[in-house]
Amino acid sequence: MGGALQNRRTFLKNGLLVCLGAGGVAWTRRAGAQFSSENHRWGMIIDLNRCTGCQSCVVACKLQNRTVENRFNTEVLEKETGEYPDARPYFMPTQCNQCDDPPCMETCGEQAIFKMENGIVATDWSKCTGQGDCVDACPYDARFLDARFGGRSDKCDFCLHRLEKAMVPACVEACAPKARIWGDFDKPEGEFADYLKKAELISRPPDRGIETSVLYKWIARGAS
């Protein structure tokens, strides 16, 4: 394995989940147990009314996860809603949505993909052969084979290595307008709890009938 591969991602070894951060520091937890010392079910709410398209989250993610050239764990797409003369542009941050019943997981013949109890869909790189069925199966185009990491299947994992250190994902930290709101579905607090209570939240449109841990607040009518 090359040096870059040693630097990050998730491996299962002797029943222990090993998550390697960008600095090469490893943390181990029993497979299937929660990351971090307490139980969590992590989620992200993205308020499309707040996103300015500044791309700071994309840069922060790239620096953190060091994916192969021209592939990103998160992107910000330019979109348009409404009809002329009422059409308006907006920006849509995208990444793996940590699906409740992940289509990518079903297709993996190596059982390398698993859903953690904290809601994160992780990939065991010690099992991943880079065959790529999971890439084709993801309806959100969130996965890719990462040549920088031995051709293994890569995607956003909510910065597992940062969560272990009680840090939020890099994209959340980088977002000045707070368009990415981080929280715990099981113990919602603060703004995350307010959004869950008051906002109409949807999975990434168009609706694919999949429950996800990334939710969006759609653009308010009349917003400009």
The single residue among 12, 18, 76, 108 that binds ligand SF4, judged by CB under 6 A, is 76
Asked whether position 107 contacts ligand SF4 by CB under 6 A, the answer is no
Per CB under 6 A, does 72 bind ligand SF4?
A: no
Question: Does 54 participate in binding ligand SF4 (rule CB under 6 A)?
Answer: yes
Residue among 99, 122, 128, 159 that touches ligand SF4 (CB under 6 A): 99
Instruction: Select from 8, 40, 41, 155 the one that contacts ligand SF4 (CB under 6 A).
Output: 155
3-state SS string for the chain? CCHHHHCCEEEEECCEEEEECCCCCEEEEECCCCCCCCCCCEEEEEECCCCCCCCHHHHHHHHHHCCCCCCCCEEEEEEEECCCCCCEEEEEEEECCCECCCHHHHHCCCCCEEECCCCCEEEECCCCCCCCHHHHHCCCCCCEEEHHHCCEEECCCCCHHHHCCCCCCHHHHHCCCCCEEEEECCCCCHHHHHHHHHCCEECCCCCCCCCECEEEECCCCCCC
Binding window for ligand SF4 (CB under 6 A); candidates: 17-25, 37-45, 140-148, 194-202: 140-148
Residues that bind ligand SF4 (CB under 6 A): 51-57, 76, 91, 93, 96-99, 102-104, 121, 138, 140, 142-143, 155, 174-175, 177, 179-180
